[in-house]
């Protein structure tokens, strides 16, 4: 069953978010007025060191009022590749410059309401180059054992959908070739 979009009307728009209402036809010719959030793509990376630890940010998210570990991720700038954006975001948010990046996983975190897409890469080396660019991105930056990821997910210490997907994928599938 494929839904047919007949029209979209803009409700609100700024540089980060475009909220719309779509006239969508579903089965039997019925129509729904469905809300849609359109956003630019994002990119980030899971960085693993020789000790089997992943580079994570411990941060607060004010909308759900939760704390949790996340991989560094952010928006892709105009004219920037997803890979370049992932490297930039890791360095800006953590103070670590990742080594060569390889694709890890592609995620659509909220496809029922948004066209958001996240390109997540993998690096198995990183160089510490200084402090994070901003002091508001994370409470702290930590190297966390990859082996602890399932326990952290179960304990609600990793709740971000994209971070959870990427970390569990790496935990289960291993390093990309």
pLDDT in tens, 140-176: 999 999 999 999 999 999 999 999 999 999 999 877 8
Q: Given phi > 0 = left and psi -120 to 50 = alpha, else beta, which region is 156?
A: left
Helices (H), 16-140: 82-94
- Residue 94 pLDDT more than 80? yes
Reported pTM: 0.92
pLDDT at 177 over 90: no
Q: What does the pLDDT read at residue 23?
A: 97
What count of other Cβ atoms lies within 10 Å of the Cβ of residue 76?
Answer: 21
Q: What is the pLDDT of residues 14-28, one digit of tens each?
A: 988 999 999 999 999
């Amino acid at each position: 069953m494929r839904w047919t979009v007949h029209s979209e009307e803009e409700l609100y728009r700024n540089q980060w978010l475009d909220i719309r209402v779509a006239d969508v036809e579903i089965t039997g010719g019925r129509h729904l007025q469905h809300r849609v959030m359109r956003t630019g793509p994002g990119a980030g990376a899971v960085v693993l060191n020789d000790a089997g630890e992943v580079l994570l940010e411990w941060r607060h998210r004010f909308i759900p009022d939760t704390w949790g570990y996340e991989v560094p991720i952010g928006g892709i700038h105009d004219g920037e590749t997803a890979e370049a954006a992932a490297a930039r975001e890791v360095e800006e948010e953590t103070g670590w410059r990742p080594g060569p990046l390889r694709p890890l996983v592609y995620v659509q975190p909220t496809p029922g309401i948004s066209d958001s897409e996240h390109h997540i890469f993998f690096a198995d080396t990183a160089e510490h180059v200084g402090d994070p660019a901003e002091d508001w991105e994370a409470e702290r930056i930590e190297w966390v054992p990859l082996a602890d990821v399932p326990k952290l997910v179960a304990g609600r210490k990793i709740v971000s959908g994209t971070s959870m997907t990427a970390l569990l994928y790496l935990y289960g599938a291993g390093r990309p070739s």
